[in-house]
Copies of this chain bind each other. A is one copy, B any other.
């Protein structure tokens, strides 16, 4: 099929009529599908059901250090949970603090603490006139919501196939001491599935920020979330790189087991330099007496070690891979050569990122919704929900069944076509 932009008005009108008819058929199907959030499917959750049995009323609920996990105490996590999360996060155990059920909450608390108490002795951000964050975009909407909530000015930085545009990051960070942070999802990024190149990570580690309290918010949410055994991305370890570059305190690394076990009931952690951890513990000791140690113990007893995690993630991949491939096959089959959209084939993570013709994303998402398929809101992948090109759409294939995914993806490509034709016709006027 030839590119849509080469079609003349008559051809476009004929095409639109046919697409309208097909779209109507979908509307009549009464679909109710959700491709909006990176939620594991029930089948994936079933993989962790064994975790519900490892602790019971006849189990020894003491951790290796002999602490009764039922009682108060153990502020920063039980040792064996630190070891497990350290292995997942590829850092030494002493660089870990274990948190509650959500790394999002840890990131929120980190920004909140910086607002009220500053970072390692520096002025609390709430006392400053302006605080800014760099936001590689498209990116994770919930990151942007946190910074927006705290009134932090967000500056979008374009993504490249290697990660954020590092020329821009280096320039901005070195020139403006109001820039206090950057949000990163460095591996199988949300939503593009891009893994930062070695050079990108090293340029991050070598940053010379104008603000001494600048921190890289390194949300390594998908570190073990591969889709393939043989084709896996590798991300070099940022804490070590920062240390080597003489910037040991410049990064906070976040992760959790949310998309490994149960999203509502996982274990989250932060990894950072000892100086950072000393400061974080000072706040933590005021905030809580300790997180849920039984749930930490439950995770460790279930997985035992990183090998347990790796074997488990292969099972996740076996469920996720066909869904990703189904979507990608349909995008290929329906849209290749039409020049009305582009997409990236990820090797892991939870999303496929689609870029439509400029000015079509909102309309595509609206059309999909009106035929019963909910996508992530267009624009959500940009700061303030404003995609300057109105082109990026995040596709989340994990939650629906394979059969539903096929239907949803087919409808989606139809919406892309329809919206593109309408745009081209409108542009002719």
Q: Which residues of A contact B (CB under 8 A)?
A: 37, 39-40, 42, 45, 48-50, 52-53, 55-57, 59, 61, 68-74, 100-102, 104-105, 108-109, 112, 115-117, 124, 126-127, 142, 145-146, 149-150, 258, 262-265, 283, 286-295
Q: How far is the CB of A44 from chain B (nearest CB, A)?
A: 9
CB-defined contacts of A61 to chain B, threshold 8 Å: 52
Q: Which B-chain residue is minimally distant from A61 (CB atoms)?
A: B52
Q: Which B-chain residue is minimally distant from A55 (CB atoms)?
A: B52
Task: Please report the C-alpha to C-alpha distance between residue A37 and residue B290 in the assembled complex, in whole angstroms.
Answer: 14
A70-B262, A124-B126, A126-B115 as given contacts; A108 in contact with B287, CB under 8 Å: yes
CB-defined contacts of A294 to chain B, threshold 8 Å: 262, 264-265
Asked whether A288 lies within 8 Å of B104 as measured between CB atoms, the reply is yes
Asked whether A289 lies within 8 Å of B70 as measured between CB atoms, the reply is no
Q: List 18 A-B contacts (CB under 8 A).
A: A37-B72, A39-B72, A42-B71, A49-B57, A52-B59, A69-B264, A71-B264, A73-B264, A74-B264, A104-B287, A112-B112, A112-B116, A115-B115, A115-B126, A116-B150, A149-B283, A149-B286, A292-B292
Q: How far is the CB of A234 from chain B (nearest CB, A)?
A: 28
Q: Give this chain's copy count.
A: 2
- What are the 9 tightest A-B residue pairs by CB atom distance, in nearest-first order? A126-B126, A70-B262, A49-B57, A72-B263, A108-B287, A265-B294, A149-B286, A45-B70, A105-B288
CB-defined contacts of A263 to chain B, threshold 8 Å: 70-72, 289
Asked whether B286 lies within 8 Å of A264 as measured between CB atoms, the reply is no
A55-B52, A56-B53, A70-B264 as given contacts; A101 in contact with B100, CB under 8 Å: yes
Asked whether B56 lies within 8 Å of A286 as measured between CB atoms, the reply is no
Task: Please report the C-alpha to C-alpha distance between residue A142 and residue B287 in the assembled complex, in whole angstroms.
Answer: 9
CB-defined contacts of A109 to chain B, threshold 8 Å: 287
CB-defined contacts of A57 to chain B, threshold 8 Å: 49-50, 52-53
Asked whether A288 lies within 8 Å of B102 as measured between CB atoms, the reply is yes
With A52-B57, A116-B126, A264-B291 given, can you name 9 additional A-B contacts, CB distance below 8 Å? A52-B61, A53-B56, A74-B264, A100-B291, A100-B292, A101-B292, A108-B288, A146-B286, A295-B295
Q: Which B-chain residue is minimally distant from A263 (CB atoms)?
A: B72
A39-B71, A116-B126 as given contacts; A265 in contact with B283, CB under 8 Å: no
Asked whether A68 lies within 8 Å of B42 as measured between CB atoms, the reply is yes
Asked whether B40 lies within 8 Å of A71 as measured between CB atoms, the reply is yes
Q: How far is the CB of A380 from chain B (nearest CB, A)?
A: 14
Asked whether A289 lies within 8 Å of B55 as measured between CB atoms, the reply is no
A112-B112, A292-B101 as given contacts; A45 in contact with B72, CB under 8 Å: no
CB-defined contacts of A295 to chain B, threshold 8 Å: 265, 292, 295
CB-defined contacts of A37 to chain B, threshold 8 Å: 72
Q: Which B-chain residue is minimally distant from A59 (CB atoms)?
A: B52
Asked whether B116 lies within 8 Å of A72 as measured between CB atoms, the reply is no
Contact for A116 among B116, B258, B265, B290, CB less than 8 A: B116
